[in-house]
Amino acid sequence: MRVSWDIMRDGPPIIIVNLKTYEQGYGADGFDLCKIMEEISIEHNVNLAAAVSAIDLVDYSDNLKIPIFAQHVDGVNYGSHTGSILPEAVRYSGAVGTLVNHAECQMNWEDIEATISRCRELGLLTVLCTADAKATEKGAYLNPDMIAVEPPELIGGDISVSTAKPEVIADSVSIVSSINSDISVLCGAGVKNQGDVSKALSLGSKGILLASGVVKSAEPREALMDLIKGL
């Protein structure tokens, strides 16, 4: 089942789980994880979404009742762009949007602008990843739908950005609000538990982007249940 973002837009703050290229995050295993997310989303009326491999976009979008994001899209048009991920192909897959400029798949600002523009043309949501408040300010002028603030040194670690660098979140929220209040600021990097989520929301963020705390957990359902208690 392909899910429109509008179904969940007016719900509670969003948690986007990035499956990356973890062993547990693709094919049947990744699908099973997303199925757990779907069940929790429905049972507890929480807003959960997944960013998945381009290879899995169609299968997951067709068979899950949570929003599915791509992990990357290239700002190209039809043509000779071998190996690029065409925005039209992502839309065709059923995905609702894409991450842009994740710390593990960085882009230059020209390409970021082109990607956000192309996605906007096609109705694909964009989650622009930034490392600090300065990058957040520059990115906000490009009008993505969401900005996920993730200091790269904290990604995959045991200390969340909301604990280690709360000022980065607070400053980013203030900056984005002054430029375009329609952009939602998400908190990423090191988020592991309900306390991290609660602190991030108290700083003004509208949701969370995380990965290893759920995907690599031996008990992902329990990890997710703990996280949603912070919403």
Catalytic residue ranges:
102, 150
> Residue 120: which region, alpha, beta or left (left: phi > 0; alpha: psi -120 to 50)?
alpha
Beta-strand ranges (E) seen in 109-164 are 125-130, 146-149
Can you state the angle between helices 27-44 and 220-228, rounded to 10 degrees? 30
Residues 213, 219 contacting (CB under 8 angstroms):
no
Residues 57, 93 contacting (CB under 8 angstroms):
yes
The CB density around residue 18, as the number of other CB atoms within 10 Å, is 27
Burial (Cβ within 10 Å: 0-12, 13-18, ≥19) of residue 167: exposed
Residue 187: closest CA among 212, 202, 169, 167? 169
CA terminus-to-terminus distance, the chain? 26
Helices and strands, counts by H and E, the chain: 11, 8
